């Protein structure tokens, strides 16, 4: 999976090596790995290595009825590579823009002759610079796994990961003058680093250990249990352009600094029984489940003022930071316990499909504020989330559907300089749509309209995260995937997202970082015969409409629309010569024409979008 394959998912902020900035139907989705949610903090959130994933999918609409703790927009579902009985090895070498050098590896097979024990080891080593001057983008990742086939009906797979990231702020935090606002000193370069390279760093260590257990009792009942312990530790400090910044006549901009120490840990387990049976003419797939999570977060954020200014045109690093004064913005420990009981029944009657589900959540959150004389805050929340959906599968491949779903999500974190932890968010959504899959084809066309409401939505403006009262989003989604011919594959999508804040100080405004219009298209043409046998080319376009980076919807927080193009070429060299079996090469380019654009401004800072990025790779499977 190359990064270019995920490009359409990243509206909003530009490239940032620290995290994945993803939104689904306007909301940040909960990220699930192997059936369990990943822990959520402030800066230490895990960034999963794509190389270790077997597949990745965006599940739209409230999925709380089964998954729990998800926003109404949907969730990101990731599945790790699992051990396989057939021996397989893969090595990939990459080189590209910003002195990018990376090696990916994967090895799987049997540990014994009968295949009772299977293993897999995959990983990544990256030594690269970021697009921003003097900021590295290094990663060390290892993901070993082991499967024990206990018998024909029982399997236990141990899954683990270790990731170490060494990087910095690649989101830039550039002043409005010289980016959005014209200035006498000209435009600030996309590559400009206005921090202190010898002082700034972002070091994160993520590790996870767990297992997936499955047992089939008979033709009706089966049991699944997923369990994982996750820990993510972060040390982060940086100098950046100050929140209320100004650039003087000489081109010098004011600055501030921050120091963050954060560690988050989580124990999560999900147990479910699945039954496939019939009652009369009704066919059922029944799910009964119980999940439990315990998370612990320690977070300390120091804000520093008195940092010397820096030139935005010719920065000179090495400023004296000994006189910087720090005070504590946040310093707390937060513990959360959540238990969910859920059920879902998928019922089929002839061409009719009915889904009914619901879950009850019990959540206990305790927060101790060390910077507020040890004051504690405790919240206990109980919520029911239900869902219902009805569809009819016509013989010609058309499937219209309607659905209603509710969602519930405890919100991690707390209000700056207070003793108030965030309130949980709750949502509900109405959706109607149609899917069309022509019989005998690999094409799928979908259209959906939805109306969703969420309360206590978190939004980050400047350095501060707060909650808005209530948000309503109405939208339209169109998607198409098709193997038009044996050679040509097409993927296209369009979304219209109309957001409105309905309660609070910004009532009537659009939500921050929610463009109304977005569209993508991607085409791949691969030759399977003739002189170009095994060679393929691909190209795509991404359009993101205008948006506001703040809920006040000010001009300073507004960014216009932009369109960027991507391209790729790949060659299966085994089609050229049988002695090259398993060897392939590829070149992937994002933002082919190197368009310079602002991806968002929040009224304090502006952020450039991704510049052109080219990665060439050689892949060998044996």
Q: How confident is the model at residue 64 (pLDDT cuts 50, 70, 90)?
A: low
The pLDDT score that the predictor gives to residue 66 is 67
pLDDT confidence tier of residue 416, bands split at 50, 70 and 90 = low
Predicted pLDDT of residue 454: 86
**Size of the chain in residues:** 622
3 φ, ψ to 5°?
-55, -30
pLDDT digits (tens, 9 = 90+) for 297-340: 999 999 999 999 999 999 999 999 999 999 999 999 999 999 99
Q: What is the mean pLDDT of residues 569-597?
A: 95
Tokens of 211: 């297992």
CB 42 within 8 A of CB 260: yes
- Predicted confidence at residue 374, as pLDDT, reads 76
Q: What is the distance between the alpha carbons of residues 400 and 169, in angstroms, rounded to a whole number?
A: 46
DSSP letter (8 states) at residue 4: G
What is the C-alpha to C-alpha distance for residues 373 and 331, in angstroms, rounded to an integer?
A: 10
Query: How far apart (Å, rounded) are the C-alpha atoms in residues 26 and 35?
Result: 23
pLDDT per residue over 428-450, tens digit each?
A: 999 999 999 999 888 999 999 99
Residue 314 falls in which region: left (phi positive, over 0), alpha (psi -120 to 50) or beta: beta
Q: Which residue has the higher pLDDT, 20 or 232?
A: 232
Q: Rounded to the nearest 5°, which phi and psi values hold at 8?
A: -65, -10
Read out DSSP for 414-470? B-TTSS-BPPPEEEEEEEEEEEE--TTSS-EEEEEEEEEEEEEEEEEETTEEEEEEE
pLDDT bracket for residue 4 (50, 70, 90): very low
Model confidence at 474, pLDDT cuts 50, 70, 90, reads very high
Q: How big, in percent rounded to 5, are the helix, strand and coil portions of the chain?
A: 5, 60, 35
584 Cβ contact list (under 8 Å, min separation 6): 570, 571, 572, 573, 574, 618, 619, 620
Contact 42, 262 (CB under 8 A): yes
Asked if pLDDT for residue 65 goes beyond 50, the answer is: yes
Predicted pLDDT at 417: 53
Q: For position 476, what pLDDT does the model report?
A: 95
What does the alpha-carbon distance between residue 128 and residue 98 come to, in Å, rounded to a whole number?
A: 7
pLDDT grade for 70, boundaries at 50, 70 and 90: confident
- Output the pLDDT for position 377: 85
Ranges 55-69, 150-164, 317-331, 493-507: which has the least confidence: 55-69
pLDDT of residue 13: 34
Is pLDDT of 19 > 70? no
Pairing of strands 88-96, 100-110: antiparallel
Which parts of 226-320 fold into alpha helices (H)?
none
Q: 7 pLDDT exceeds 50?
A: no
Give the Cα separation of 366 and 541 in Å (integer): 46
pLDDT, tens digit, 9 for 90 and up, residues 590-602: 999 999 999 999 8
Contacts of 484 (CB under 8 A, 6+ apart): 443, 490
For the segment(s) 3-98+260-301+326-621, the CATH number from 2.40.170.20, 1.10.10.10, 1.10.3720.10, 1.10.540.10 is 2.40.170.20
pLDDT surpasses 70 at 5 = no
Average model confidence (pLDDT) for the chain? 90
Confidence band, pLDDT 50/70/90 cuts, at residue 2: very low
Residue 15 pLDDT grade (very low, low, confident, very high; cuts 50, 70, 90): very low
CA atoms in the 13 A half-sphere facing the CB of 39: 33
For 253-290, what is each residue's pLDDT tens digit?
999 999 999 999 999 999 999 999 999 999 999 999 99
Q: Give the per-residue pLDDT at 372.
A: 78
Contacts (Cβ under 8 Å, ≥6 apart) of 279: none
**Residue 524: pLDDT over 90:** yes
CA distance 562 to 542: 8
Query: Which pLDDT tens digit goes with each residue over 161-193?
Result: 999 999 988 777 899 999 999 888 889 998 999
Tell me the pLDDT band of 295, cut-offs 50, 70 and 90. Answer: very high
Q: CA-CA distances (angstroms) from residue 583 to 85, 151, 302, 524?
A: 22, 36, 51, 20
Let me know: does 96 contact 387? Beta carbons within 8 Å: no
What are the DSSP calls for 6-36, one per residue? GGGG--SS---TT-----BTTBPPEEEETTE
d(CA 196, CA 401): 55
- Of the candidates 163, 157, 51, the one whose C-alpha atom is nearest the C-alpha of residue 107 is 51
- SS3 of residue 53 by DSSP: strand
Phi/psi for 4 (5° steps) reads -65, -25
User: Cα–Cα distance between 109 and 112 in angstroms, integer?
Assistant: 9
How far, in Å, CA of 377 to CA of 366, rounded? 6
Q: 282: which strand partners?
A: 279
**Token pair listed for 537:** 């080319």
Please tell me the predicted confidence (pLDDT) of residue 211: 98
Q: Do 63 and 70 touch, CB atoms closer than 8 A?
A: yes
């Amino acid at each position: 999976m190359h990064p270019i394959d995920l490009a359409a998912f990243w509206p909003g902020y530009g490239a940032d090596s620290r995290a994945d900035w993803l939104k689904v139907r306007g909301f940040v989705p909960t990220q699930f790995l192997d059936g369990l949610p990943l822990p959520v903090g402030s800066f230490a959130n895990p960034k999963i290595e794509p190389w270790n994933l077997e597949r990745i999918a965006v599940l739209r609409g409230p999925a709380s009825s089964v998954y729990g703790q998800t926003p109404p927009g949907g969730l990101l579902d990731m599945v790790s590579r699992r051990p396989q009985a057939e021996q397989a090895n893969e090595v990939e070498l990459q080189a590209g823009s910003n002195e990018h050098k990376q090696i990916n590896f994967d090895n799987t097979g049997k540990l014994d002759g009968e295949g009772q024990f299977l293993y897999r080891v995959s990983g990544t080593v990256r030594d690269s610079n970021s697009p921003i001057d003097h900021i590295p983008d290094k990663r060390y990742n290892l993901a070993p796994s082991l499967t024990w086939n206990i018998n024909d009906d029982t399997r236990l797979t141990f899954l683990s990961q270790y990731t170490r990231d060494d990087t910095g702020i690649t989101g830039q935090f550039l002043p409005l003058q010289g980016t959005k606002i014209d200035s006498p000193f000209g435009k600030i370069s996309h590559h400009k680093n206005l921090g202190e390279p010898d002082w700034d760093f972002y070091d994160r260590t993520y590790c996870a250990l767990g297992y997936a257990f499955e047992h089939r009792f008979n033709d009706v009942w089966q049991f699944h249990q997923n369990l994982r312990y996750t820990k993510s530790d972060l040390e982060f400090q940086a100098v950046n352009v100050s929140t209320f910044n100004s650039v003087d006549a000489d081109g010098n901009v004011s600055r501030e600094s921050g120091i963050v120490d954060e560690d988050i840990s989580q124990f999560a387990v999900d147990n479910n029984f699945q039954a496939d049976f019939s009652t009369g003419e009704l066919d059922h797939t029944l799910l009964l489940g119980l999940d439990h999570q315990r998370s612990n977060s320690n977070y300390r954020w120091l804000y520093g003022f008195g940092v010397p200014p820096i030139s935005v045109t010719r920065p000179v690093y090495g400023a004296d930071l000994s006189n910087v004064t720090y005070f504590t913005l946040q310093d707390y420990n937060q513990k959360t316990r959540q238990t969910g009981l859920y059920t879902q029944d998928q019922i089929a009657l002839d061409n009719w499909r009915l889904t009914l589900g619901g879950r009850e959540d019990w959540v206990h959150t305790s927060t101790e504020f060390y910077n507020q004389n040890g004051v504690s805050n405790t919240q206990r929340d109980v919520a029911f989330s239900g869902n219902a959906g009805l569809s009819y599968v016509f013989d010609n491949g058309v499937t219209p559907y309607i659905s209603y779903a509710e969602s519930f999500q405890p919100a991690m974190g707390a209000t700056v300089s207070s003793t108030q932890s965030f309130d949980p968010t709750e949502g509900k959504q109405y959706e109607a749509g149609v899917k069309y899959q022509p019989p005998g084809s690999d094409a799928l066309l979908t259209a959906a309209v939805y109306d969703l409401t969420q309360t206590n939505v978190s939004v980050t403006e400047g350095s501060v995260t707060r909650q808005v009262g209530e948000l309503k989003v109405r939208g339209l989604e169109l998607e198409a995937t098709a193997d038009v011919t044996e050679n040509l594959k097409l993927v296209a999508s369009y979304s219209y997202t109309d957001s409105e804040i309905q309660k609070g100080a910004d009532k009537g405004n659009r939500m921050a970082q929610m463009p109304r219009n977005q569209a993508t298209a991607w085409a791949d043409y691969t030759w399977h015969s003739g002189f170009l046998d095994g060679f393929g080319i691909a190209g795509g376009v991404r359009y993101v409409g205008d948006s506001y980076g703040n809920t006040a919807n000010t001009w300073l927080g507004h960014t216009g629309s932009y369109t960027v193009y991507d391209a790729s070429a790949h060659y299966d060299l085994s089609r050229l010569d049988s002695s090259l079996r398993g060897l392939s090469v590829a070149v992937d380019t994002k933002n082919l024409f190197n368009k310079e654009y602002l991806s968002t401004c929040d009224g304090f800072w502006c952020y450039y979008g991704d510049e052109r990025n080219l990665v060439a790779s050689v892949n060998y499977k044996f």
